[in-house]
Structure 1
Amino acid sequence: MTVSEAVSVSAPGSVELAGDLEVPPSARGVVLFAHGSGSSRHSPRNRAVAEALRRNGWATLLMDLLTEGEEQSDAVSGEFRFDVALLGERTAAAVDWLAKYPATGSLPVHLFGASTGAAAALVAAAERPDRVVSVVSRGGRPDLAGDALGRVRVPVLLLVGGRDEHVLELNRKAAEELPETHRVQVVPGATHLFEEPGALEQVAAAAQDWFLQAADAGPG
């Protein structure tokens, strides 16, 4: 039975965050998307990756890490988009929510983070080592995860566009702090948003391979 529904994810501070959950029959696991600066569950790039993953049997949860009011405020001030502690806390809350939700409670959780959402995903992985199986970052800022990098106990794949030189250097430096299996993988010719033809397809294929490799090992 396929599950496709709008959901509300509870987070600390009595906050309810909007999400879109899709679970195909006999799902391999569930991939939770943590979006980046100024983005939301409607991100066309993350939705494209999520659709590709679902075709290969993965459940997906695309959710907003900010409330509607916070998004409006952030659009003006930018006050929330780099608050990695807050974004990480809410990503971890979504991991907890997936554990309790009937359609996903038995599924292993993988995290897919973009831009600052990658830092949030790494913070959540450090905080939930018993639930998170692996992390994939797309054009991410893992350096913003700070001390959490050294506490991540799951495999991490850092995907960066070959033409996104500054972010590539930040990823390489951050990778040195990851204690477990990790890889920095360059998508040739891609810029920060992976808008080039075929770039997102390469991201989805690499993420799928990484999730499959991590699946047998289980959380932690």
Structure 2
Amino acid sequence: MVRSEAVSVADEGAAIAGDLVLPPGARKVVLFAHGSGSSRHSPRNRSVAAALQDAGLGTLLMDLLTEREEGRDAMTGEHRFDIELLAGRVVAAVDWLGSRPDTADLPVGLFGASTGAAAALAGAAERPERVQAVVSRGGRPDLAGGALRLVRAPVLLIVGGDDPEVLRLNQEAADLLPVPHRVHIVPGATHLFEEPGALDEVAEEARDWFLGAGR
């Protein structure tokens, strides 16, 4: 029976909300790091998460900001590019998974979208012993900066073919990765992968990457 649980992860006094789903016999758990202006309720990431769950992978969809921080960010934009803060929340969630009896022994994958991709990569660099694979959807891996050279998990960068600036940034970031990696272009897709079949392709590529750990 699939277990679904609303959870809270503590990070330096902040309580970060999340939704944990564990299919029977889950082999891995994938933590979703959302970008600015998004949340664990993102229909795109929930669609990808459902495909991963169908493949026997656990998922943890997290808000990287508290409600108060989200409200302030909506007015000032001060948190959305604070990769150090966002990566710290990813690391806190990875550590939290390691503290639970039902997830402590499960390898962790990270799925990041937009600025959440940079947070995922920076988090992977900080927890190389726990993070087994990273996937970015329409992400900004370039914002991870020097952390790119410290990543030890294989990385899949998924970009829309009609999202040229983000594609360029992903290709440049890929050149800095010292690990097995691939840039997968979804033909005809724009930044949000709203075109018919685009998100299905994202889900399939992510599923295969996590199941194979990049091999």
Amino acid paired to 1:167: V
Aligned to 1:126: 125
CA distance in 1, matches of 2:65, 2:187: 32
Q: Say whether the 8 Å CA contact 1:4–1:22 is kept in structure 2.
A: yes
Contact 1:112 1:138 in 2 (8 A): yes
2:170 maps to 171
Note the residue ranges of structure 2 that are not aligned, 5 or more in a row: none
- Count of matched residue pairs: 215
- Residue aligning to 1:189: 188
Alignment of 1:8-23 (within 5 A): 8-11=8-11, 13-23=12-22
**Alignment deviations for residues 72-120 of structure 1 (CA, whole Å, 9 cap, x no partner):** 0011111101100100011011000000112211111000000000000
Indicate if the aligned counterparts of 1:3 and 1:103 stay in contact, CA closer than 8 A.
no
Q: Could you say what secondary structure the match of 1:147 adopts?
A: helix
Structure 2: distance between partners of 1:10 and 1:106: 20
- In 1, Cα distance between equivalents of 2:153 and 2:18: 25
**Shift in Å, 1:128:** 0.1
What secondary structure does 2:30 align onto? strand
SS in 1 for 2:157: strand
TM-score w.r.t. the length of structure 1 is 0.96
Distance 2:58 2:211 in 1: 13
Query: Residues 198-213 of structure 1: matches in 2 within 5 Å?
Result: 198-213=197-212
1:1-220 to 2 correspondence within 5 Å? 1-11=1-11, 13-214=12-213
Distance 2:91 2:196 in 1: 33
For 2:5, give the aligned amino acid.
E
Residue 136 of structure 1 and its aligned partner are, at CA, apart by 0.2
Whole-Å separation in 2 of the counterparts to 1:3 and 1:96: 20
Q: CA deviation at 1:10?
A: 1.3
Secondary structure in 2 matching 1:211: helix
Unpaired stretches in structure 1, ≥5 consecutive residues: none
Give the Å deviation of 1:212: 1.5
Following superposition, the deviation at residue 37 of structure 1 comes to 1.3
Tell me how far apart the structure 2 counterparts of residues 111 and 199 of structure 1 sit (CA, whole Å). Answer: 20
Q: 1: CA distance between counterparts of 2:8 and 2:102?
A: 14
Q: In 1, Cα distance between the equivalents of 2:203 and 2:102?
A: 23
State which drifts further: 101-110 or 186-195. 101-110
Q: Which SS does the other structure have where 1:57 is aligned?
A: coil
Identity of aligned residues (%): 68
Aligned Cα root-mean-square deviation (Å)? 1.0
